[in-house]
Amino acid sequence: MKHRILLTIATVVAASTMIFGTVMAAKPPVPSPLDLVWAAISNLQTAVTGIQNTIAGFWDDSTNTLTASKLSYSPARTHVYTLSPFDFGPTNSEVKFNRFDGGEGLSVAADTPNDFGRMIAPVHLPDGAEITDFAVRFRDNSTSDFVVHLNWTQWVGGSEASLADVSTEGFSGEQWANDDTISHPFPEAPYIDNGEFAYEVVAQWGDPDGNNLQLLGVIITYTISEAE
């Protein structure tokens, strides 16, 4: 009888333990602060990996180097490229020119033969730049005028044409004049391509008039979206 009572008690205890254990196991675990920290770190790692994939590159701690296939400005950045009278040179020995000699800018002597008064300055813009404006500052105190062209020349074949043009005709005194209609040889992709073209500014005095017709400076405005 004593043994039966003990066996019954043992059975009840075992059953209770089993039921209690099952209830305890079903209760969801409460995360510890350490678990939360590890979860946050894991999420951060995932985010960093996503950023790395987005820029198609990676950061190397050992060399402090960021490797990426391309770095872009968004929106594109605007810059200016300037030319002073000292950037221009004559096209041949017939041109008698002055720079800051009896005037404030670049001029061609009145006794230079007509149509020989050409002065040229090279333009070096980064590949991928898009020209948006061509502005010329000048002084015109003459009945005659001069024109300033922003030209491209193709390396192969030597084709040449203007991207933009400014004339002093109709102006008097010291002025800015500009042309923001840019005629690019490839209008569908109007970007500087130094592998295909050379670029230069050509000032042409068809009827030179000395210091009465002075070129004071040039500003070319361009945008660029790729970091160099």
The contact set with Ca ion (CB under 5 A) reads 140, 142, 145
Minimum Å distance from CB 144 to Ca ion? 6
Cβ-proximal residues to 1 (8 Å cutoff; 6+ apart), any chain = none
Nearer to Ca ion, 81 or 171 (CB): 171
Distance CA 140, CA 213 (A): 5
**Does a cis peptide bond (omega within 30 degrees of 0) precede residue 75?**
yes
Distance CA 186, CA 184 (A): 5
Distance CA 202, CA 151 (A): 7
Q: What is the DSSP string of 34-85?
A: HHHHHHHHHHHHHHHHHHHHHTTEEEETTTTEEEES--EEEEEEEEEEEE-G
Minimum Å distance from CB 140 to Ca ion? 4
Minimum Å distance from CB 143 to Ca ion? 6
Minimum Å distance from CB 212 to Ca ion? 8
Nearer to Ca ion, 163 or 213 (CB): 213
Map tokens 């002093």 to a residue: 168
Nearer to Ca ion, 140 or 193 (CB): 140
Nearer to Ca ion, 140 or 165 (CB): 140
Nearer to Ca ion, 145 or 193 (CB): 145
Minimum Å distance from CB 217 to Ca ion? 18
